[in-house]
Amino acid sequence: MTASTASASSVSVGESRIRRWGLIWLSVVALVTTAGTLGYVLFFGWSIGDGLYMTAITLTTVGYKEVRELDALGRAWTILVALAGVGIIFGTVGIVAETFVAEAISGRRERRRMSEAVSRLRNHIILCGYGRVGATVARELEHAGVPVVVIDAVAGSVEIAAREGHLVVEGDATHDDVLIAAGVSHARALITAVDTDATNVYVTLSARSLNPKLFIVARANDEGSESKLRQAGADRVVSPYTRAGRQIAELATRPRVADFIDFALSHGQLSFSIEELEVVAGGPLAGQTIGTLTARGIHAMAVVTHGPRQFETNPPMDRVLEPGDQLIVSGTAEVLRALRETV
């Protein structure tokens, strides 16, 4: 997260630099204007209005006719005011140019740091789209301690994501080079949460072609798009509106159950936790029985076999775990953390 934090810091530093130079510029203009006006008033006996007008047309190099006749000393004073005006103009141009050049160099440096940080990631999750849904997903993943790389083509969303502390790749997620820059070849999953279903389909197709083993979760705004997203290669398709409708119905019919599940899974304030584990050949879980896990304080809620929806709920104690099985287990956070570290 170092590069993203640095990127957000560079934005704030750039803004503060612009504000600082702006205040300095305004102060110099006010000082020169005041000095020029007072010079005409004190040295030549002009009124404040005439002195201010003469100073203004001299500083801005407008070149109107002199307000009053000037002697040699008056012309010398006017020359000084004019030189100050020219200095302000050139100084302003220099400050603006320096600010833009510094911002360009800083932005290029931070993008390079961001790219290096992303290239070092392994088993991270790529999040395409940082709108309302994407921002919520990113916060949940960050809370779970999962490294995230955000992809978005909107500069404002990129800036917000960087300010929130995420690694960001600015660009169109439908382009292969952008996905490659986000580390799609060594990511463990990709979530495409863009507002348009057509874009989510293209992102899914591109990601699947670059990494056939990538686990892809796609957002569907329209029910008719779910089948297209699955055909494009999405492992899971989620409709925020359908999920929200189910949750509202659960809250209305089983409020205590819904509150408990939300509290347990979302807030992480309970010692109780639910995890998903895969049984791999030669791993510590292969060949063990459900009873062995139970003796360690781990409750096997279900075993997933032969596809994502084939659940074997409440498996018997003598059920032997085989490579390829997916376990849905519950237990204390400490026990599950220790188990995951051995898998």
Give the model confidence (pLDDT) of 272-324 as tens digits: 778 888 888 888 888 889 998 888 888 888 888 766 567 888 889 999 998 88
The reported pLDDT for the residue numbered 2 is: 36
Class of domain 121-238: alpha beta
Report residues of the chain scoring pLDDT below 50. Answer: 1-13
In the chain, CATH 3.40.50.720 sits at: 121-238
- Residues 271-342, CATH architecture: 2-Layer Sandwich (3.30)
Helix, strand, coil abundance in the chain, percent, nearest 5:
60, 15, 30
CA distance between the termini of the chain: 26
* CB-based contact 168:150 (threshold 8 Å): yes
The reported pLDDT for the residue numbered 7 is: 44
Given its phi and psi angles, is residue 154 left (phi above 0), alpha (psi -120 to 50 degrees) or beta?
Answer: beta
Closest CA to 250 of 238, 262, 240, 239: 262
pTM above 0.75, yes or no: no
Q: Which two tokens stand for residue 274?
A: 């639910």
Place of tokens 């990127």: 7
The reported pLDDT for the residue numbered 176 is: 95
Multiple choice CATH, 2-117, 4.10.220.20, 3.30.230.70, 1.10.287.70, 3.30.465.10: 1.10.287.70
The reported pLDDT for the residue numbered 271 is: 61
In the chain, CATH 3.30.70.1450 sits at: 271-342
In the chain, CATH 1.10.287.70 sits at: 2-117
